[in-house]
């Protein structure tokens, strides 16, 4: 039987692109001989990693700057400033208040408070800055008390448009305290004498190496009483009340948030989340508000190592170099 099929030519060799890692052998065009792929230098991968880290760091820094400066697409932001711990320096919080107060994209500010108070002057300075931002920048400022909002911290909160606190928050402690450490017995034990030359009868009042005289006691009491009057008056002004109504509550004691509501020291029971949503709605923000916070400042290891070491190892002599202090603080 005759085969009617014509002979077929051999199949063409596959194109070189289909054989990754192969190359033609000049002595034998087909089939191809195997040639292992070139190994990439580890420095290439290291460079890629370093560039990636640099890009991510730049993006993170930009986002932080955007959050702190208010540079963002959204014009419906709520700024949150934390008031934590003992209040000794007003500059940090005042700066944050000014920055957010002048930022048109920030519609309101929440002071998230968890503090027993602190220095009388520092607390008073923040109080007046809150009032200024409210009046000059027409910015709503709300206080949200977490665990403690007492004394100087309550002083600051009273300047706000509204105060929120949890049922079990500690609120109040309207009062003034002056204190210092008397180390006279220690000096006598160590056979040391404090030598002071002064002009003016009360110039060395509060000398911690001796007891106060009756005249010095009356002198310091007059200063404390004056600061107490300022405290009561400023709280009454901030709470739209009168000195006569606040003074019975200004015994230095604290109340729970639940008790404080009935006393008129706060406006509403609720935590930070409730304060945030209520504040957003009050300034016309619907949905989830966009929250911005000040950029956090962290000290680098280099700055710590190149500092004078006072942060890590305080000089014991500083304990003997403290002047009497006046505090709006719950202890």
* Domain residue extents for the chain: 39-68, 70-178+212-293+322-329
User: For residue 48, what pLDDT is reported?
Assistant: 79
What per-residue confidence (pLDDT) applies to 51? 78
CA dihedral over 190, 191, 197, 202, signed as positive or negative = positive
Look up residue 319 and give its DSSP letter.
G
Active site members: 151, 203
Q: Which CATH architecture has domain 70-178+212-293+322-329?
A: Alpha-Beta Complex (3.90)
**Do the beta carbons of residue 146 and residue 169 sit within 8 Å?**
yes
Residue 63: pLDDT over 60? no
Alpha carbon of 25 to those of 35, 130, 168, 312: distances in Å? 10, 82, 85, 71
Q: Cα separation of 173 and 151, whole Å? A: 5
Spell out a b/e string for 179-192, using b for 16 or more CB atoms within 10 Å of the CB, else e. eeeebeeebeeeee
Question: Alpha helices, DSSP H only, in the chain?
Answer: 42-69, 91-101, 120-136, 152-157, 184-189, 214-238, 243-246, 257-263, 272-282, 301-305
Angstrom distance (rounded) from CA 21 to CA 322: 78
pLDDT at 241 over 70: yes
In angstroms, the CA 316 to CA 297 distance is 28
The answer on pLDDT for 12 being more than 80 is no
pLDDT at res. 6: 60
């Amino acid at each position: 039987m005759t085969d009617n099929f014509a002979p077929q030519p051999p199949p063409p060799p596959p194109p070189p692109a289909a054989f990754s890692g192969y190359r033609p052998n000049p002595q034998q065009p087909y089939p191809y001989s195997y040639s292992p792929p070139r190994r990439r230098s580890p420095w290439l991968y290291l460079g890629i990693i370093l560039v990636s880290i640099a890009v991510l760091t730049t993006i993170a820094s930009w986002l932080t700057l955007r959050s702190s400066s208010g540079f963002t697409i959204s014009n419906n932001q709520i700024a949150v400033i934390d008031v934590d711990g003992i209040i000794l320096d007003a500059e940090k919080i005042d700066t944050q208040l000014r920055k957010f107060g002048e930022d048109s994209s920030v519609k309101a500010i929440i002071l998230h408070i968890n503090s027993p108070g602190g220095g009388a002057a520092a607390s008073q300075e923040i109080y007046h800055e809150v009032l200024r931002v409210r009046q000059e920048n027409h910015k709503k400022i709300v206080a949200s008390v977490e665990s403690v909002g007492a004394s100087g911290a309550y002083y600051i909160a009273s300047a706000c448009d509204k105060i929120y606190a949890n049922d079990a928050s500690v609120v109040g402690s309207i009062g003034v305290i002056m204190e210092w450490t008397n180390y006279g017995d220690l000096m006598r034990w160590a056979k040391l004498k404090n030598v002071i030359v002064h002009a003016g009868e009360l110039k060395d009042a509060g000398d911690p190496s001796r007891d106060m005289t009756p005249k010095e006691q009356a002198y310091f009491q007059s200063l404390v009483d004056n600061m107490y009057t300022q405290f009561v008056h400023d709280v009454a002004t901030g709470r739209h009340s009168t000195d006569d109504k606040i003074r019975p509550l200004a015994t230095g004691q604290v109340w729970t948030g639940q008790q404080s509501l009935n006393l008129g020291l706060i406006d509403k029971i609720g935590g930070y989340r409730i304060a945030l949503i209520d504040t957003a709605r009050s300034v016309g923000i619907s949905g989830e508000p966009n929250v911005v916070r000040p950029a956090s400042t962290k000290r680098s290891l280099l700055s710590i190592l190149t500092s004078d070491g006072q942060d890590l190892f305080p000089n014991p002599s500083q304990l003997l170099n403290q002047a009497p202090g006046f505090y709006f603080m719950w202890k």
